Structure 1
């Protein structure tokens, strides 16, 4: 299911009854796009008490501001395998994952945001197969602990700063020293038009194993 909300600074989100999404018990795929009426309109903050269907497997959100509590809400979805966050802001520029969250998450995409500091442990995101970062101008580096996730196959970077790319290759090199040659790093800084569809077609990813 896809939903698009057009808003301005006077919008009251209570009228949209987003809390009723939790009642869609069989829903597995949800895309929510928040579209401002003007580029001057601040990103809308996602309600901290917003709940999602427990059977949700794929969630895409764009055009909103996200709190730590929102991220914990996403992480508590027991069946979530794909999370895409696009054109959004973290409320305080930081994200710290917690033990026990995102147990089944295989694909994580973070794009066009203000994320600066990211803290994660190797036991978090324990099923992650693919990490995609696109236009994260403030992110200083990828946490080295990401390399400790045994299921990780691909780190894909799109227009990320040099320090982020360097950290990704450092993770790959460290894993190779440990005998893990399966982790791939792909930097698409100069290939602005590259999409995941293009990468699937070029056999960089196996779509049977990594969800899109």
Structure 2
């Protein structure tokens, strides 16, 4: 058996394991304040954003307010202005439920920064009707059973109006192509196409 060194026998020797353990402890202790500061900085960054002043027109009404620079048009419409007809579906720009018109063109409001509407015209589903008189596309959706649960319907109608207005309702194939960004999980596509054809046949603008 190997003889113990004097240091081992007295219990005061420094082993390699002890050195490594001490070094690791010092490193972790040094990093903790840095990690804490970084976490605090991220937390503050997420809670406070730059405030911007936006002046826009929504459904023909002038609106001016301060907004968080990170806010989406969808959240501005629903949470700040009360236009809850515009629906939040996927929140990733893939389903079309949040479609609105920006200067007459369709946009998915969940991917559109609210800051981008400054000085521009926004139209939501609430802005289509003329008082108590429904827009022809809204009436056509009812007449052709172009909805079931109705959740996607506001976005479908906004895209359908643009489809007719911009000359894409020439045939079924063109309609389906234009409307391909709007998903109906209930499968009411036949009725949607029929409604658009009906409006296109009786209106020059939709």
**TM-score scaled to structure 2, two decimals?**
0.29
**TM-score scaled to structure 1, two decimals?**
0.29
Question: Structure 1 or 2: larger helix share?
Answer: 2
Question: Structure 1 or 2: larger strand share?
Answer: 1
Higher relative contact order (CA 8 A, sep 6+): 2
